[in-house]
Amino acid sequence: MDQARQQLACFVGANPEELVFVPNATTGINAVLRSLPFSEQDELLTTNHEYNACRNVLEFVAERTNAKIIVADIPFPVKSSEQIIERLMEKVSPRTKLVLIDHITSQTGFIFPIREIIQKLNNLGIDTLIDGAHAPGMLRLNLQEIGATYYTGNCHKWLSAPKGAAFLCVKLNKQSLIRPVTISHGANSPRSDRSRFFLEFDWTGTPDPSAYLCIPEVIKFLGSLFPGGWSELINTNHNLAIQGRKILSEKLEISLPCPDEMIGSMAVLPLGKRWQHFSDLNQKLWQEYKIEVPMMPWDDQNKPLMRISAHLYNHLSQYEYLAEALLDF
């Protein structure tokens, strides 16, 4: 476990003493939000792009503590990263206790400018909880430079590790506050050779650590597929996503919702009313064309969002095929 922790910490640019394994990013969000002592005087700031599961945790905690949830309205489409920063910082107040934001939004595929946001919030003494579910393997990470108070990310997505492999990073000066979702033997362990943070998170009941132990091999294997290693792999996936969304945009006559530099290896396009029955469309694309692509509602239920992804096993002809299939409806 410690060897796997060291190698993952190196890959994401984290302090190994601040990183623990969790089964998924949602568990990481739960551990942080359900540990912190909020009160009715506190405001918890998030955005309208926040992942539904994590927003539910925020609602759960707010109901129990009487803290108030404040939502920054980030437009979709968006013109620039600066627009995201402006909209978020407008909602910060002297009562803001914590800011929960995605690093890469699930519904809309935006890369939020978290380094700039965190720096501004750090200067105000406001803690940050970053949901980085999609970031490991899609972006080159340096969590120590990013400087979030709390950061959680999945390894089963772009790293292609088994499901059940994720991590949570907590700053050293905050670790005494944060407890795992499952309290187990580590809570009263007499051991003094490890931090209480490790003792509690590394043994929650009787978990199977296999997924965690696969992470170093996954990092090594995927990094070996290109001469340029992970940097080349990430650039390859990004360029494929850019080309894929360009094909779909042109063939379906849809405007691009954000600049190229605001996406990684996922791209989201708003579908018009022609494709408004998105639940049926999901099923028909799979049943008739063997295409699996997420369709998600946005503010306007008549304009669902379609999210494409680009990994090493994808190729441009697949996005051409998707466009042709959509034009058949």
Per domain, the residue ranges of the chain are 2-223, 229-327
pLDDT at 281: 87
Is the pLDDT at 312 greater than 80, yes or no? Answer: yes
Order of all β-strands in the sheet with 43-47: 19-22, 166-170, 150-154, 127-132, 96-102, 43-47, 68-72
Is the pLDDT at 329 greater than 90, yes or no? Answer: no
* Fold observed for domain 2-223: Aspartate Aminotransferase; domain 2 (3.40.640)
| DSSP secondary structure letters along 228-274 | THHHHHHHHHHHHHHHHHHHHHHHHT---SS-GGG-SSEEEEE--GG
Q: How many angstroms separate the first and last alpha carbons of the chain? A: 50
Q: Tell me the pTM.
A: 0.96
Q: What pLDDT digit, counting tens, does each position of 120-150 carry? A: 999 999 999 999 999 999 999 999 999 999 9
Residues 6+ apart with CB under 8 A from 176: 196
In the CATH scheme, what is the homologous superfamily, with its name and number, of domain 229-327? Aspartate Aminotransferase, domain 1 (3.90.1150.10)
Mean pLDDT of 165-176: 98
